[in-house]
Structure 1
Amino acid sequence: MKIKQLHIQNYKSLVDFKLENLPAFAAVVGPNASGKSNIFEALEFTNYVCRFPFEATSFFGGLKNIYSYQATPGKKMSFYYKFDNDININFSLGITPQRNLDGFEDVYSIGQEPILDLGKEENPFLFLDIRDKNKRDNFLEVVRQKHLTYNNEFEIFIDNFSRLLVGKTFLNRSFQLQSRLHTNASNLSQILAQILDSEKKDDFFEWLRILIPEFRDIEIRKSNIDGSSEFFLYEMTSTRPFSRHLISDGTFNILSLMAAVFQNENPQFLCIEEPEYGLHPQAIELLVNFLREKSEEKGHHILLNTHSQTLVRCLEPHEIILVNKVNGATIAKQLTADNAVNIKTDEAWLSNAFGGGVL
């Protein structure tokens, strides 16, 4: 899965933000308050608009909290995604806020354009039609009849999107699916139970033993009272298990990141914030290799954001998107293989040899 073009306007600091030819595995790199999280939140917001068109803004604190301060009055928030297919598959969404004398109302209109450019179709397939199974099936049938190549990118983005920032409870929004890891990993026990009850268990355990050298086993205990689950971790040198409250933040982070990748066999769109949290430098390197490998193997689109020197050192130049904020607006510089230098990637970044993503 690959995004050919991304264009976001007037969402927080993303006044006129553009990315092109986004690799399947990449990292957004930049200083604090440069807008890295806003990029991921804008992707998440688009997903929510599709699922809850006229309630979506309420999950993000209301329109007044996401509409850019830099926007010209009356301008809409717009989100344009073009996927890398043989056909012109893209979707465009425009949200126009309505104002009153006191400022913003949380009221808006949604404008849409046809998802697939097949010429003049009597019943074009629009952004919000993805929620309608019959319209979705009809759209796929048109694609098959015309013998076009379509890799389900739009459906992957809507159906299998996850944003993860472990431990940040304020990011845990309402109506998150129970079958998918929540943004703050609060339902980790439930997702681990699903993984351990599947054919993915052996592969999952093999990677855990690489990233957590003392790891031996995981046990899921289910409450007879309310049906809730709790996981316990066993180490090589101990016969007694460790509950969630006894393991380190780094170990919990590793379990969460691994669970996010293994929660679905189908291709996913994963936005992972600060994956380096609580991890040893060697574990960070192993984790980057794991995420890169699973992206290639399973067709996942995995985006990271970071300001970790150790993580940047593990990246290839073409996997790096540098961001800075200029006059209140987030801007991006995408690196390519041509940006390779004769020093380590992190040194080139922090010395500003790449020309961006620094204080």
Structure 2
Amino acid sequence: MARIEGIWIQNFKSLKHVVLGKLPDTIGEGCEPLTPMTVVIGKNGVGKSTLFDVFGFLADALKFGVEEACDLRGRGGFEKIRSQGQTDYILFSIAYREDENAPLLTYVIDIGVEDFGRPVVERELLFQTPNKDIFENSTVFLMLANGKGIVCKGGGKGLNGFSYRETVDIYVTGGDFEQLIDEKVLEAEKVTLADTRKLGLATLGALNEHPKIVAFRQFIESWYLSYFTPDAARTLPLSGVQQHLNSKGDNLANVVQFMEREHRDKFQSILNRIAEKIPGIDTIDTEKTSDGRLLLRFNDKGFIDPFYAPQMSDGTLKVFAYLLLLEDPDPAPFICIEEPENGLYHKLLETLAAEFRSHATGRKGGSQLFITTHQPYFVDALEPEEVWILEKGSDGFATIRRASDDALVKSMVAEGLPLGGLWYSDYLDAS
């Protein structure tokens, strides 16, 4: 399953310059790739929600275009999301592999504004980093500047004879694409997009002749970003099956109906496993209504009659939704959850963290998880390599570092001290 190894963010709200994980060249040089489960911790107001919104913004930009993405979810437009006092473009760069044996691919997008203030995609690049054991040269699959550029056909032999550094230099400086096509490019064609507010990834990623672009577009489209609210999960939607839980969780009953129909033999065993992990719940089963809907019944220990989903506590519904998400037979490759601890009993958090890790590191290659939290009990179940500490710098912008970069912290965790306890005791503070 696809994995993000690194991400670079520039000029997005409080994230003026933030790098997590491993990226090619000097950005993130010497860093280890992101782990299957990555958890960002920090105090209130340091930018955890902003970091979560990076993935939401990219998904919105792919689906709706950058102008609409700047306005969605209360973002307030380009000038509100560009880091205060900055005049340069907003940049995102994601390095990922389609699977663990695939070469590293990197996607870069710069977002600026036209003279009259309309957000546009200034530059866009998708390239494959050279690997001495497999490839001799860089392979560029997409290179656009202000909607004009080149796209390589098929698997793409790409830019023949270009080093990685030369490739990026041409991209950054808005190089001569005519010369590239005439002298350096094999199996490539010139393209001009009709609307610079739309991503080339969205347009060209719909064409089968560009499989690498298609694959990366599908990767972003399949991200699961949790905006789960228990009240939404209590609703009883119309009858009908839906394969995956949506971001708000208001189709929980439809997903249950899908699982019961398509995975009948093992669905009850899934419910039983989930019930074992929710305190106070003896069993979970279903009841079919006369109009074809499937209701969830929670059998609480000590009570004869079952309780239905609309009667259950926020915490029970939340844990059930998370665990059902992990049991998805075809899970999203990337799951992003903000503060899963809200509404949960603190002793349940270590169990939930262990379930997340077990899924992310499973032999079948589960989803990569990206989680933000400010709950030490959740962090107690984590390893230093999995935890990133987000703080506010002296200039007001965010800084980030991995807990494992601190030798003392690694040593104390190795001796049995819980990481969340160290955080609570201020051992993880930069000072």
TM range (shorter): 0.7 to 0.9
Q: Which amino acid aligns with 1:113?
A: E
Secondary structure of 2:399's counterpart equals strand
Find 1:314's aligned residue among 367, 381, 400.
381
Q: Distance in 1 between matches of 2:9 and 2:210?
A: 26
List per-residue Cα deviations over 1:244-299 (Å, max 9, x = no partner): 33211110110121233234524521111111222233321111111111112233
1:212 Cα deviation from its structure 2 partner: 1.5
1:156 Cα deviation from its structure 2 partner: 5.9
Q: Which amino acid aligns with 1:303?
A: F
List per-residue Cα deviations over 1:292-327 (Å, max 9, x = no partner): 111122331101111111111111111101111223
1:36–1:305: 8 Å Cα contact kept in structure 2? yes
1:3–1:82: 8 Å Cα contact kept in structure 2? yes
Considering only CA atoms, is the larger Rg found in Structure 1 or Structure 2? Answer: 2
1:87 is matched with which residue?
103
Q: Distance in 1 between matches of 2:115 and 2:288?
A: 51
1:44 is matched with which residue?
56
Q: Which amino acid aligns with 2:121?
A: I
Q: Distance in 1 between matches of 2:190 and 2:422?
A: 48
Q: Distance in 1 between matches of 2:293 and 2:68?
A: 29
1:328 is matched with which residue?
396
Q: Given the alignment of the two structures, is residue 26 of structure 1 paired with residue 100 of structure 2, yes or no?
A: no
Q: Distance in 1 between matches of 2:255 and 2:427?
A: 42
Secondary structure of 2:127's counterpart equals coil
Q: Distance in 1 between matches of 2:401 and 2:86?
A: 24
1:58 Cα deviation from its structure 2 partner: 3.2
Q: Which is bigger in relative contact order (C-alpha 8 A, separation at least 6)?
A: 1
1:14 is matched with which residue?
15
Compute the RMSD of aligned alpha carbons: 3.2
Q: Given the alignment of the two structures, is residue 208 of structure 1 paired with residue 274 of structure 2, yes or no?
A: yes
2:3–2:333: 8 Å Cα contact kept in structure 1? no
Q: Distance in 1 between matches of 2:119 and 2:296?
A: 43
| Consecutive unaligned residues in structure 1, runs of 5 or more | 144-151, 171-177
List per-residue Cα deviations over 1:163-215 (Å, max 9, x = no partner): 11432889xxxxxxx75433332222222322333336245324312212424
Secondary structure of 1:191's counterpart equals helix
Correspondence list, 1:330-349, <5 A:
330-336=398-404, 338=407, 339-340=409-410, 341=412, 342=415, 343-349=417-423
Secondary structure of 2:371's counterpart equals strand
2:77 is matched with which residue?
63
Q: Distance in 2 between matches of 1:212 and 1:30?
A: 27
Q: Distance in 2 between matches of 1:223 and 1:16?
A: 56
2:146 is matched with which residue?
none
1:160 is matched with which residue?
222
Worse-superposed segment, 241-250 or 212-221: 212-221
Question: Equivalent pairs: percent with the same residue?
Answer: 21
2:16–2:398: 8 Å Cα contact kept in structure 1? yes
List per-residue Cα deviations over 1:8-39 (Å, max 9, x = no partner): 11222111111112111121111111111111
Q: Distance in 2 between matches of 1:36 and 1:330?
A: 9
- TM-score where L is the length of structure 2: 0.68
Secondary structure of 2:81's counterpart equals coil
Correspondence list, 1:126-145, <5 A:
128-130=200-202, 135=207, 137-140=208-211
Q: Distance in 2 between matches of 1:158 and 1:190?
A: 24
2:14–2:50: 8 Å Cα contact kept in structure 1? yes
- TM-score where L is the length of structure 1: 0.80
1:355 is matched with which residue?
429
1:116 is matched with which residue?
127
Cα distance change of structure 1 residues 230 and 114 upon mapping to structure 2, 3 Å threshold: same
Secondary structure of 2:262's counterpart equals coil
Q: Distance in 1 between matches of 2:190 and 2:361?
A: 33
Secondary structure of 1:113's counterpart equals strand
